[in-house]
A = this chain, B = another copy of it.
Amino acid sequence: MATIDDVAKAAGVSKSTVSNVFTKKRPISKGVSDKVLEVSKQLNYKPNYWARTLATKETRIIGLNMQAERIKFSQFHLSLVNGVLHECYGRGYQLLINTLSSDYKNDIQNQVSNPVDGEILMDPAVDDERIKKELSKERPCVVIGKPPKHLDQTLSYIDNDNVGIAYELTSHLLTLGHEKILFLNAAKHKTVALDRAQGFQTAFEDNGKRCPHELILNKTINNTSIEFGYDTAFRFLQERNRITAVIADTDKMALGVYQAASALNITIPKHLSVFAFSDDSVFESEFQPRLSSARLNAEQLGEGAARLLIEQIQENNKLVKRIVIPSEVCHRGSTSTKFLEG
């Protein structure tokens, strides 16, 4: 590729003149400018992205840091990406998706600063290493989900009202007569798990009932969501005084529950009601009957996060903002009133 020096030489002007023709930071006379552009075209010259970045310290790229089970993203994550991209398009930013393993990143040879103007962090944990790292540099950062409590005042974030949703789902099930409700929650170290557990608990208390803490189970890292859903549901469905309803953290988890129910010849929703936190699901076809769920509006989460981040980058606006994305409960076929034996 031709460099700025080649162009300068060929056009008989200095480097800085060529630079100014492209960046328009200083006026260049029409004659000279045209000449430079013509030569550039002939030599197929374009300013080198990284050289420019090194000098200006601006990449016009934002980063999205997300982790996935076995590196296959769920519909929730993909919808979210869609939202982020939509916002990027309108504002002239590109999106860098970073899914590199920490093994890779910890190798000394791969230790480098991040090549972005700012980053979106997903699925924050109670004591999140990534957030600490982000804060130690002074690069803009937006969280999707709720940051650890002590950073609530420090970081902008966008989230669903997870306490509220869990409350609503639980209340609804209680109204339908269910009491033995299994809550398959997110992993313990994720902040979202805390919020949802609280909504679950408060719903019981507000209905004058004891919250069955022993029925709140957190996903473990060793299993996939489907496995965790299957194994746990299977176990609790075999008990004598068995559960009559399940709230699952994701649709994949709910799929495991469906499979467990099927294996035990338990009919949904007649003998078991199932709710999930979910976006529209890709494997909807595998849910028979269709899954009732709280729609989390991932796309809006993504759009909002991108908007927040880019504003922060451009306006150098350190104002901390919090946004709550509404979510609707969709009653489909997997929930019904508690079945009364006999």
**Which chain A residues have a beta carbon within 8 Å of chain B's beta carbons?**
1, 21-24, 37, 44, 46-54, 59, 61, 71-73, 75, 78-79, 81-82, 85-86, 88-90, 92, 94-101, 104, 108-115, 136-137, 280, 282-285, 290
Contact = CB atoms under 8 A, between A and B. Distances in A.
Contacts of A59: 50, 115
Contact of A136 (B44, B61, B290): B44
B98 A96 contact: no
* Copies of this protein chain in the complex: 2
Contact of A24 (B73, B104, B108, B282): B108
Nearest to A68: B85
A48 B112 contact: yes
A48 B52 contact: no
A259 B95 CA distance: 35
Contact of A81 (B78, B90, B112, B113): B78
Contact of A86 (B71, B92, B110): B71
B54 A72 contact: no
Contact of A285 (B79, B108, B284): B284
B280 A280 contact: no
Contact of A85 (B71, B82, B86, B137): B71
A46 B113 contact: yes
B99 A49 contact: no
A113 B47 contact: yes
Nearest to A25: B109
Nearest to A67: B89
A301 to B, nearest CB: 15
Task: Identify the interface centre among A81, A136, A283: most chain B CB within 10 Å of its CB.
Answer: A81
B94 A96 contact: yes
23 contacts: A1-B137, A22-B108, A22-B111, A37-B108, A44-B137, A48-B54, A48-B113, A50-B50, A53-B115, A71-B85, A71-B89, A71-B90, A72-B82, A78-B78, A78-B79, A78-B81, A85-B99, A92-B100, A94-B96, A94-B97, A95-B96, A97-B97, A280-B285
Given A44-B136, A112-B52, A113-B49, A282 B282 contact: yes
A277 to B, nearest CB: 17
A72 B282 CA distance: 16
A214 to B, nearest CB: 35
A315 to B, nearest CB: 20
Nearest to A60: B110
Nearest to A21: B108
B82 A78 contact: yes
Given A50-B53, A72-B86, A136-B44, A92 B109 contact: no
Contact of A54 (B51, B73, B85, B100): B51
A39 to B, nearest CB: 14
A80 to B, nearest CB: 10
Contacts of A61: 96, 115
A245 to B, nearest CB: 23
A44 B86 CA distance: 34
A59 to B, nearest CB: 7
B85 A97 contact: yes
